[in-house]
């Protein structure tokens, strides 16, 4: 089937995706052929689609390089304050199309590839998603640099070897390779502590350019790869123990070979701690090297007094928390600062973003592990804790319970370091990522710390980048909006409010509806190709895509699917609004219940999809390998977005914002950023159900009895009995006993308590879907209200309220701009 937008229509998209010029196209074709021949050493007779992708990627990167170098020159010459975002995850997705859009090259590249007789979409599909994260934490981090196989009932896990074909976007920087130390012991002397007899692993930096949108700025994402030193166990080689020497080398390099995938479960494994320290130790050496370069020319030893005026470090959750004792170690042991001076500088440098309130996700490292792996850092943590507790004793004499609660060292169940407490004590600012989440950490999770330093705690609601999550993934809607209100909304998403004036405009309503239907046609083609299932295009596309976790309550959605199935079977001739339920997400390898949830959904889908009585009324699809590039396909085609976590458990969410921006309506609880979405759009323009945070808290006090709901709600009882009795797994009747046992006895997230409200709310959804005009009007209102949720706003808030830098809309001069213009830009920037 043909794509809803023809190639010609795509190439005629308006200027927000770039202008097609004869010179641009000719230059791009020339660059493409040059790289095919001289970089890849291929011609058209032997080149593969992947070769063509690489040739195009190198061609586009050529247009980045000058801007990248010029950006670094500009920073060197103006010496601004630098912000370093430390994260164990950067879930960036694909780079090619995002770069073409940000450089204004999309249309010219489309035309060049068309003239070369190739298909742009085919080339874009050759790019692997960068495997640098798995969840919302990594997805959030992926926005920062830019704004600054399944069978029936069977999960198949596959490694994400995204680098097997190479990465055309990264540049290795071996000249900046740095040593990172582990193990060893601490020697004390009059001159201070020395960390000696350590094992050394080298950190090799790899830089990826991150272009801003049409502003000539190209920032850098620096990743680190572990390398064994060249002399690593050379002695073993010389005495013939070749195998052990090779094994030791592999052990050293394993540090960066696999990213630990659990970001909502803490596992105190040595490799994970090595990864965390490896990243921060290499990064801090790099930061200090750069700071010292900026001080060249000054006489005497380098002074670090101005370090917080030139360096801001944001800790993305607790994974990089070892940066705090590491910076103290460098200042005190290497740079010979006194403790109090070093601690004051450290606190002014760091800020901490909390991403979860789930106890099992909070990092607590065993003291014994730290003592073995990082002995000097444990000493430093003990001293930080001593000073911290001395201050508390002075303010609250005799309050031993408060001291126990606020200590960095937990004594219950073995001595452990509470990394969140370390981050709070060692930072000048602490923030949550949605208003409700920030209030919970202030008033509940970290209440003692908030009472001690109330001004330290802030909120910074998450955001998404409109360039990827509208221009790139939904060009039809992006173009329609630009035609209606102009192109400036791409840089200022708040301008989407102007769409409220078009809520009753029949032509605009019709156009928005057509864009959505076109996106559904395109995505249904993908589903039919990949899953061999026929999609009812008039059905509601009901989508629930996110990591699989009990608190995100995919089980509640599954119970609704079973309820709809039972209703159809009970009365096949009754009116039923057709639905295609699409669920996607990955489970952490060690998370047994999450894997069982996936098996249950696929088992239910198998029964539903094969039932001739159900036919096209209801389909259930589980998306394999859900990732950023797949999100870019499904989100624009979605009618209903499922955001149904238990109130008070989701820190923020960003998927909810992406769906909203792309004209999906939301069914959700008052949790995470849903609360602010309801404030912006009006609660009447969302489908809100379920307990609020205070209701959950009250139920926790009174006690949650799942059996009461099970016995009093017949449809719920029927659905649970079907799961428990093996209706969806007849060959393995006991397959889902762990799921039902959890729901009855250990459900912290109270699925049954919200079931009835959820079902009634879904009935309202179906009722409105029968009125396409009203549905689309509500969708327009949601798009108009999504301006707050731009990552540009988020980063501006961080910049002004946490990092102490002032954003500017000045363009960095391109490489060929005269020196005079550069000097003028630097002058204005200095004045600002």
Bin 807: left if φ > 0, else alpha if -120 < ψ < 50, else beta. beta
Backbone phi, then psi, for 247, in 5-degree steps?
-65, -40
Q: What angle do CA 524, 95, 492 make, to 5 degrees?
A: 85
Cα–Cα nearest to 358, from 702, 701, 645, 677: 645
355 is catalytic: yes
Spatial contact of 271 and 594, defined as CB atoms under 8 Å apart = no
Tell me how far apart the alpha carbons of residues 456 and 573 are, in angstroms, rounded to a whole number. 61
Q: Which of 61, 547, 750, 788 is catalytic?
A: 547
Spatial contact of 812 and 829, defined as CB atoms under 8 Å apart = no
654 is catalytic: yes
Tell me how far apart the alpha carbons of residues 711 and 728 are, in angstroms, rounded to a whole number. 21
Question: In a 3-state reduction of DSSP, which class is residue 622?
Answer: strand
Spatial contact of 536 and 635, defined as CB atoms under 8 Å apart = no
Interaxial angle between packed helices 592-610 and 737-745, expressed in degrees from 0 to 180 and rounded to the nearest 10: 110
Spatial contact of 208 and 220, defined as CB atoms under 8 Å apart = yes
Q: Which of 11, 61, 67, 355 is catalytic?
A: 355
Tell me how far apart the alpha carbons of residues 600 and 557 are, in angstroms, rounded to a whole number. 11
Q: Which of 217, 349, 356, 654 is catalytic?
A: 654
823: which 2 tokens? 């000097």
Tell me how far apart the alpha carbons of residues 823 and 553 are, in angstroms, rounded to a whole number. 56
Spatial contact of 353 and 455, defined as CB atoms under 8 Å apart = no
Q: What is the DSSP letter of 464?
A: B
Q: Is 113 exposed, middle or buried (0-12, 13-18, 19+ CB in 10 A)?
A: buried
Backbone phi, then psi, for 22, in 5-degree steps?
-60, -40
Tell me how far apart the alpha carbons of residues 289 and 285 are, in angstroms, rounded to a whole number. 6
Q: Can you tell me which residue has the tokens 């694909």?
A: 94
Spatial contact of 313 and 349, defined as CB atoms under 8 Å apart = yes
Bin 580: left if φ > 0, else alpha if -120 < ψ < 50, else beta. beta
Q: Which of 546, 586, 617, 788 is catalytic?
A: 546
| H or E stretch at 366 | strand 364-366
668: which 2 tokens? 């959700």
Question: In a 3-state reduction of DSSP, which class is residue 621?
Answer: strand
Count of other CB atoms within 10 angstroms of residue 46: 9
Tell me how far apart the alpha carbons of residues 255 and 644 are, in angstroms, rounded to a whole number. 36
Q: Which of 428, 658, 750, 781 is catalytic?
A: 658
Spatial contact of 802 and 431, defined as CB atoms under 8 Å apart = yes
- How far is residue 714 from each of residues 566, 709, 723, 751, measured CA to CA in Å? 12, 9, 14, 15
Count of other CB atoms within 10 angstroms of residue 339: 14
Tell me how far apart the alpha carbons of residues 498 and 486 are, in angstroms, rounded to a whole number. 10
Helix ranges restricted to H, 210-260: 234-238, 242-253
405 is catalytic: no
658 is catalytic: yes
Q: Using alpha carbons only, how large is the chain's radius of gyration in Å?
A: 28
Task: List CB contacts of 370: < 8 A, sequence separation 6 or more.
Answer: 273, 377, 378, 381, 417
Spatial contact of 268 and 362, defined as CB atoms under 8 Å apart = no
Q: Which of 61, 274, 442, 552 is catalytic?
A: 552
Q: What is the DSSP letter of 550?
A: G
Q: How far apart are the first and last CA of the chain?
A: 55
Catalytic residue numbers, as ranges: 355, 546-547, 552, 654, 658
């Amino acid at each position: 089937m043909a794509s809803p937008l023809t190639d010609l229509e795509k190439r005629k998209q308006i200027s927000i995706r770039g202008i097609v010029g004869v010179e641009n196209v000719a230059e791009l074709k020339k660059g493409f052929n040059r790289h095919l021949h001289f970089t890849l050493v291929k011609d058209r007779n032997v080149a593969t689609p992947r070769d063509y992708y690489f040739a195009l990627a190198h061609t586009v990167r050529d247009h980045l390089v000058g801007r990248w170098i010029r950006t670094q020159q500009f920073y060197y010459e103006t010496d601004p304050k630098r912000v370093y975002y430390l994260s164990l995850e950067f879930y960036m997705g694909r780079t090619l199309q995002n770069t073409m859009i940000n450089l204004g090259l999309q249309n010219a590249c489309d035309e060049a590839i068309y003239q070369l007789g190739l298909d742009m979409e085919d080339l874009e599909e050759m790019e692997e998603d960068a495997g640098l994260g798995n969840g919302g934490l990594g997805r959030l981090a992926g926005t920062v640099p830019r704004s600054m196989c399944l069978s029936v009932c069977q999960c198949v896990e596959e490694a994400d070897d995204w680098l097997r074909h190479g990465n055309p976007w990264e540049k290795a920087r071996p000249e900046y390779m740095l040593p990172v130390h582990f193990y060893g012991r601490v020697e004390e002397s009059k001159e201070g502590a020395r960390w000696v007899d350590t094992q050394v692993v080298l950190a090799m930096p790899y830089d990826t350019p991150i272009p801003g949108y049409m502003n000539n700025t190209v920032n850098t994402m620096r990743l680190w790869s572990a390398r064994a030193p060249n002399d690593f166990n050379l002695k073993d080689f010389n005495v013939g123990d070749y195998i052990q020497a090779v094994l030791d080398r592999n052990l050293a390099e394993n540090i960066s070979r696999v990213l630990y995938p659990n970001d909502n479960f803490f596992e105190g494994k040595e490799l994970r701690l090595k990864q965390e320290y490896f990243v921060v130790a290499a990064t801090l050496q790099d930061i200090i090297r750069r700071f010292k370069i900026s001080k060249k020319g000054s006489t005497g030893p380098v002074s670090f007094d101005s370090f917080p005026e030139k360096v801001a470090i944001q800790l993305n959750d607790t994974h990089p928390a070892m940066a705090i004792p590491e910076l103290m170690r460098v200042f005190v042991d290497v740079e010979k600062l006194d403790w109090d001076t070093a601690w004051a500088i450290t606190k002014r440098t760091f800020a901490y973003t909390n991403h979860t309130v789930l106890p099992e996700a909070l990092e607590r490292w065993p003291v014994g592990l730290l003592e073995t792996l990082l002995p000097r850092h444990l000493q430093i943590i003990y001293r930080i804790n001593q000073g911290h507790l001395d201050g508390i004793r002075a303010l609250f004499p005799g309050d031993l319970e408060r001291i126990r609660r606020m200590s960095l060292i937990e004594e219950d169940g073995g001595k452990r370091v509470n990394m969140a407490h370390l981050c709070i004590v060692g930072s000048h600012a602490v923030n949550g990522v949605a208003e409700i989440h920030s209030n919970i950490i202030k008033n509940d999770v970290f209440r003692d710390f908030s009472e001690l330093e109330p001004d330290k705690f802030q909120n910074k609601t998450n955001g998404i980048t409109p360039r990827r999550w509208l221009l790139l993934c939904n060009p039809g809607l992006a173009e329609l909006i630009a035609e209606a209100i102009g192109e400036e909304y791409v840089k200022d998403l708040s301008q989407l409010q102007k769409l409220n004036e078009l809520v009753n405009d029949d032509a605009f309503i019709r156009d928005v509806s057509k864009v959505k239907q076109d996106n559904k046609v395109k995505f249904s083609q993908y589903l039919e190709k990949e899953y061999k299932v026929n999609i009812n295009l008039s059905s509601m596309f009901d989508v629930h895509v996110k990591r699989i976790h009990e608190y995100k309550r995919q089980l509640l959605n599954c119970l609704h699917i079973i309820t709809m199935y039972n209703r159809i079977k009970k009365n096949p001739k009754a009116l039923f609004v057709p639905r295609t339920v699409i669920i996607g997400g990955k489970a952490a390898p060690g998370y047994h219940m999450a894997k069982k949830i996936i098996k249950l959904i696929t088992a239910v889908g198998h029964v539903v999809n094969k039932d001739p009585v159900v036919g096209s009324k209801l389909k259930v699809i589980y998306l394999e390998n859900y990732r950023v590039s797949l999100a870019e396909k499904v989100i624009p085609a979605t009618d209903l977005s499922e955001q149904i976590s238990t109130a008070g458990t989701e820190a923020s969410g960003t998927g909810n914002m992406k769906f909203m921006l792309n004209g999906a309506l939301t069914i959700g609880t008052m949790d995470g950023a849903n609360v602010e979405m309801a404030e912006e759009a009006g609660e009447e323009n969302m489908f809100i159900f379920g307990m609020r945070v205070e209701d959950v808290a009250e139920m926790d006090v009174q006690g949650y009895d799942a059996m009461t709901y099970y016995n009093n709600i017949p449809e719920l009882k029927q659905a649970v009995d079907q799961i428990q009795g093996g209706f969806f797994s007849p060959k393995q009747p006991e397959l889902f006993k762990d799921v039902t046992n959890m729901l009855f006895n250990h459900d912290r997230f109270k699925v049954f308590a919200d079931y009835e409200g959820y079902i009634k709310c879904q009935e309202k959804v179906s009722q409105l879907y029968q009125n396409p005009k009203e549905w689309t009007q509500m969708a327009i209102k949601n798009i108009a209200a999504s301006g707050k949720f731009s990552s540009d706003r988020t980063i501006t808030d961080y910049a002004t309220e946490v990092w102490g830098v002032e954003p500017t809309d000045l363009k960095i001069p391109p490489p060929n701009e005269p020196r005079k213009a550069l000097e003028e830009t630097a002058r204005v920037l200095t004045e600002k």
